[in-house]
A and B are shown apart, each in its own frame.
Chain A
Amino acid sequence: MGLPAASSMPGWGESAGLWIKRIPMTAALYIASVVGAVALYMMMPRRGYTPVRFGFLLGACSLGGLWLFLGRELPAITGLPDAAAGYYYLFGAIAIGAAARVITQTKPVYSALWFVMVVLAVAGLFLTLEAEFMAFAMVIIYGGAILVTYVFVIMLAADSGDASNDEDTPEYDRLPREPVAAIAVGFLMLSLLLSVFAMHSEDGSTFPQNYQAQSESDAFVITNELTHRPITELEARIKAKNPDAVMPADLARKDKLDNIEKVGLDLFKSHPLGLELAGVILLVAIIGAVVIAKKRVEDDAPIQEEG
């Protein structure tokens, strides 16, 4: 009954057969959540034998089922999913699998390294969303800067012992706190979010593909912001020195802006106050980190070295 409608209108937004399709969808999402919760509980470290491999397999099955289900919901007329869809499934699976390892790994360093994997996979997902600048910023800032800080502190604050020996890992890393309750709460929240998505996915929330709105807003920015702006003296000087330099007037001649040009225009034109506040927050964080981590010397402590 829903089949003719599916071939005429792509996406989840078929009006005919909506109720038929909607109930199995929410049910499938819930089943995937429950199976995933059981899999995650199996992977949680515990006393004695931990069936990590079995849990991983079960989690892969639930994820695979979810993927198959999401793929089934893809429009029938497009046939095979295109390249972006393939990359979506690949990076999504990597991100979720690595996230599971982050929270079930008993060794902190390995947790941090699996988190790098999560960051890389999320950057890949950003690329499929055509957010190139954010993808590379994610890799550089998260994978490069923040994770190096984490690994450094993990090394600095390591308790003792040989990292390759499982018995030397301290107990608080080996045993999770309240795994059943935590997983129940987490997956309850996940089911809630998923049911909200399922409720609102009826109106066919496919991504716009022809960029019409996008190019319209680009044209608005180009015509209104860039062309009616006189070339400043500084820009003329730079242009004379370096003919390859891209000036706002050059942007005005383009009909489509790059991702990074759009992000830059939006950041500096629409959110200058936020930018300043971000700078202040970073400054406060730097000063705070120095003040907190500074080793205080007591007043009555003997002075060790006198110059």
Chain B
Amino acid sequence: MDSMMLTHYLIIGAILFCMGLIGFITRRNLIIMFLCTEMMFQGVSLSLVAFSRYHCNVTGQTFVIFVLTIAAAEAALALGLVVLLFRRKRTLDANAWSSLKG
């Protein structure tokens, strides 16, 4: 463990976060867009746990529990919304709702 550095883990966390960001922008399927936000959560959780290990302070891991809670709540609400939107237009295409831009 002595050869591992905080930066190593932060790099993976940052890569996961940016992959989720790219996926959220490029994918047009509503469900996959929300899946990509979950991937951003993964990157953030990894950074939090790495910082927790680095500072020998377990509060970082406690925070990940709260992140998990928010992710679960978000999944429930977002997927409910997706089902509702799918019933209206019979498609998961995010562009189908571009009329909401006003």
State the A residues within 8 Å of B (CB): 10-12, 29, 40, 44, 66, 70, 73-75, 78, 81-82, 84-85, 88, 92, 95-96, 99-100, 102-103, 108, 111-112, 115, 118-119, 122, 125-126, 128-131, 133-134, 137-138, 141-142, 145-146, 149-150, 153-154, 156-157, 159, 170, 172-173, 175-179, 181-183, 185-187, 189-190, 193-194, 197-198, 200-201, 205-209, 211, 213-214, 217, 259, 262-263, 265-267, 270-271, 274, 278, 281-282, 284-286, 288-290, 292-293, 295
Interface 1/0s, chain B 10-44, versus A by CB < 8 A? 11101111111111011111011011101100100
Q: Which residue of A lies closest to B30 (CB)?
A: A157
* B12 cross-chain contacts in A, Cβ below 8 A: 92, 95-96, 125
How many Å from the CB of A1 to the closest CB on chain B? 22
How near does chain B come to A230, taking the closest CB pair, in angstroms?
Answer: 26
CB distance from A87 to the nearest CB of B (A): 10
Please name all residues of chain B whose beta carbon is closer than 8 Å to the beta carbon of A29 when the two chains form the complex. 11
Excluding A182-B25, A190-B14, A270-B59, 20 further A-B contacts by CB distance (< 8 Å) are A10-B2, A99-B39, A102-B35, A103-B22, A103-B23, A108-B92, A115-B35, A137-B65, A142-B42, A149-B76, A153-B82, A156-B83, A157-B31, A170-B92, A175-B28, A177-B95, A179-B26, A190-B18, A281-B69, A288-B76
Q: A154-B31, A193-B14 in contact; A129/B26 too (CB < 8 A)?
A: no
By secondary structure, the B interface counts as helix
**CB < 8 Å: which of B28, B31, B61 contacts A134?**
B61
B11 and A194 within 8 A (CB):
yes
- Which residues in window 59-79 of B have CB below 8 A to A? 59, 61-62, 64-66, 68-77, 79
Establish whether residues B35 and A150, one from each chain, have CB atoms under 8 Å apart when the complex forms: yes
Task: Count residues of B near A (Cβ-Cβ below 8 Å).
Answer: 75
**Nearest CB of chain B from residue A126's CB, rounded to whole Å:** 6
Is A186 within 8 A of B93, CB to CB?
no
Complex Cα distance A208/B75, Å?
A: 36
Closest 5 A/B residue pairs (Cβ): A103-B23, A285-B73, A186-B22, A182-B25, A172-B93
Q: Name the B residues within 8 Å of A156 (CB-CB).
A: 83
The number of A-B residue pairs with CB atoms under 8 Å apart is 280
Cβ contacts under 8 Å, A108 to chain B: 29, 31-32, 92
Residue contact B72 to A282, C-beta cutoff 8 Å: yes
Q: Kindly state the separation between the CA atoms of A296 and B20 in the bound complex, as whole angstroms.
A: 34
Output the least CB separation between B52 and chain A (Å). Answer: 7
Q: How far does the Cβ of B53 sit from chain A's closest Cβ, in whole Å? A: 4
Cβ contact within 8 Å between A118 and B42:
yes
A268's closest neighbor in chain B, by CB? B62
- Tell me whether B21 and A185 are in contact (CB under 8 A): yes
Q: Contacts of B27 on A, CB cut-off 8 Å?
A: 103, 176-177
Q: Quick check: B18 and A187 within 8 Å, CB to CB?
A: yes
Q: Kindly provide the distance from the CB of B74 to the nearest chain A CB, expressed in whole angstroms.
A: 8
Q: Are A281 and B28 in contact (CB under 8 A)?
A: no
A-B contact pairs, 5 of them (CB 8 A): A102-B32, A103-B20, A146-B38, A150-B31, A200-B7
- Min distance, Cβ A74 to any Cβ of chain B, angstroms: 5
Partner of A207, one of B2, B15, B86: B2
Residue of B18, B35, B80 touching A186 (CB-CB under 8 A): B18
Are B68 and A12 touching (Cβ within 8 A)?
A: no
Q: Tell me the bound Cα distance from A112 to B39 in angstroms.
A: 11
CA distance A306 to B55 in the complex (A): 65
Contact, CB under 8 Å: A267 / B79: no
Contact B56–A146 (Cβ < 8 Å): no
A125 to chain B, nearest CB (A): 6
Contact A125 B46 (CB under 8 A): yes
Looking at the complex, which one of A81, A95, A201 makes contact with B3 (CB distance below 8 Å)? A81
